Amino acid sequence: MRERLNNARLLGGIGALLMVATLVPLAGKLASTVAWILLAIAVYYISKEYDDRLMFNYLVLAAVLNVVAILVIGGGLLQALISSSTGYTQSMSTLFKGVIGGVLVLLVSAVLFLTAFLRIAGYTGRPIIKVGAWMAFVGSILPLPFMNSAIQVAGWVCIGVGFLTWEPSYTAQ
């Protein structure tokens, strides 16, 4: 138990801080993938120790919905390109539907992510994780260019610091 929570602390902290690297072109995609894997392992360990599978399920569902949103937006774009021969209005309507559908899926994903990390903050007793989760959530739904990235980065730093400074109590199940 002690080792699993210590691993969760370390993996969660590194994964959250690695999310900051997603802003770097090209390397950011690899960093994001590695960060999500590390965070998923950390959340899995915490969910096992505290016998709360919901936080892990929320995180996995949020990741799956991110992929679904990309596919919905990409499908709308592809369909708009294919239907561009039928007219500008038709193709723009199709593109708009795809983007709106993708954004709605991303919003649900952001809420699930927030819920997972609020649960983690409750179990760890680290309010900085709660603050970071809210910052990452607000940053993900803000339509302001660059400002949303700055808020998300600050949120991920808070989550990372919360994990790395957490001293597990080992009173878990």
> Does the residue 40 lie in any domain?
yes
The answer as to whether 56 is a domain residue is yes
- Helix ranges, 19-52 (H): 27-49
Does 59 reside within a domain?
yes
Q: Report how many domains make up the chain.
A: 1
Domain enclosing residue 106, as ranges: 2-164
Q: Tell me the HSE value of 163 on the side-chain side, using a 13 A CA sphere.
A: 30
96-99, long-range: CB < 8 A, 24+ apart? 98/72, 98/73, 98/74, 99/73
If pLDDT is split at 50, 70 and 90, which confidence band does 117 have? very high
At 144, the pLDDT band (50, 70, 90 cuts) reads: confident
Cα(132)–Cα(118) distance, integer angstroms? 9
In a domain, 172, yes or no: no
Domain membership of residue 171 (yes or no) is no
Residue 36 lies in a domain: yes
Tell me what pLDDT residue 73 has: 86
Instruction: Give the pLDDT mean for 81-92.
Output: 72
- 147-164 and 127-141 helices cross at what angle (nearest 10)? 160
pLDDT confidence of residue 110: 92
What pLDDT, on the 0 to 100 scale, is given for residue 74?
86
More confident: 42 or 22? 42
Position 83 confidence tier, pLDDT thresholds 50, 70, 90: confident
Q: Whole-prediction pTM value?
A: 0.84
CA distances from 67 to 5, 71, 72, 131, 146 (A): 29, 6, 9, 26, 22
Q: Is residue 148 part of a domain?
A: yes
Q: From the centroid of its chain, how far is CA 68? A: 14
Is residue 173 in some structural domain?
Answer: no
